[in-house]
Every structure is written in structure tokens, then in C-alpha cells.
Amino acid sequence: MTMHLSHAGRQRLKLLALIGVFIGPLIVAWSMVEWRVGIPDERVAHGQLMPALPNLQAWPMQASSLSLGPFDWVLAYDCAMDCPAIADRWWRLHRALGREAPRLTRLRFGGQTGALPGEIVAQWRARPAWSHEGSLWLIDPEGQVVLSYRPYHEAEEVLEDLRHLLKMNPQPALAIRE
């Protein structure tokens, strides 16, 4: 049994197909956002955005010498116990940056050991409520905290976020160090 559509029926079918072509992608996009299906993980930072944290210059710290360049990113971390192991972990991450390593300075709070290469050691004057043992912060060249990580976060995820941020924020050509 064959079905013959009238001219009006064919026109309605064409209109429904045209509406489907334009509405279909909207429905698919909405469902992807609503149920987080098909969204690439590499576009999501592993750390937590912390815009409420104060600027680095307002942190209650005592530093021997906090001389940062105008284009330096800072990896700040708090360690009181097992500090040599934690400092070594972030030193290795720093080395893994390769040619981008000079753009990063590590700022360590606590510990009794001396500073590793590329690291500044500071002490809290009074530990702020937002700082916990093992906390880690990624700070932009203007001193704003970009990302905060839970204590003892995976170094590979921090490295991935850091590489992405350095790639998205290239160093100006005039600022390249000799």
C-alpha cells in the first residue's frame, strides 16, 4: 500500500524537516550542557576558582625576599609537616615545564629546610582561615589567585592546568628574559 501525499502534505513535511534541521542542534546542545554529556575534560580546570581570596600582596606573610618579575606566575603552597617531600614534588613539577619554567616562581610557606632552586621561602605572620596544610594556589602575574587546589592534589593535574594557563597567556615579546 503506497501512500500519496497531497501537495499541502509534502509542504508540511518539508517545513517540519526544516524546523528539525534548526531546532535539532539546539536540543542536542542543551542536553549536553544539562547532563554534561560529550563535553571534553581538557577544557575544565582541575583546581577550584577562588576569586574571593586576597591579592598576593595582601597575604599575611614574612618573606625573606619576594621579588617577582612583572610577568611571573606564582605556585604558592603551604607545608608544615613533610615539607622536604612536598617541596621536592613541586620542584619536579616546575622542572617539567621545560622552557616555560622561568615564568614560574614557587612560594613555600613553612618548613625548616632551605629553599630549592626557583623557590622563595616565607612564613605566615598569622595563618589565614583559607590556608590549610598542603594547600596549593596558582597566582597570576598581577597577584590574583587563579586556582586553588585541595591539599595533596595530583601534580599531573596541576601541571596540565599550569601549561594551559601559560599557553593562553603568552609572555610579551619585550619581556622575554635573556
pLDDT in tens, 21-79: 999 999 988 888 788 777 665 556 777 777 778 888 888 887 655 667 677 899 999 88
3 state DSSP class of 36: coil
Helix (H) / strand (E) element for 9: namely: helix 7-35
Rounded distance between C-alpha atoms, residue 74 and residue 116, angstroms: 15
Four-point Cα dihedral 124, 109, 161, 159, nearest 10 = 180
pLDDT of residue 178: 46
Q: What is the DSSP letter of 43?
A: G
DSSP 83-135: HHHHHHHHHHHHHHTGGGGGGEEEEEES-SSPPPTTEEEEEESS--TT--TT-
pLDDT at 80: 76
What residue spans define the domains of the chain?
1-39, 46-175
Please give the residue that has the higher pLDDT: either 118 or 138. Answer: 138
In one-letter notation, the amino acid at residue 63 is: A
Q: pLDDT tens across 64-121, in order?
A: 556 676 778 999 998 877 888 888 889 999 999 999 989 898 998 887 777 788 788 8
Class of domain 46-175: alpha beta
How is residue 47 written as a grid cell?
583546581
Round the CA-based radius of gyration of the chain to a whole number and report it.
25
Strand pairing class (145-149; 73-78): unpaired
Neighbours of 133 (CB within 10 A): 16
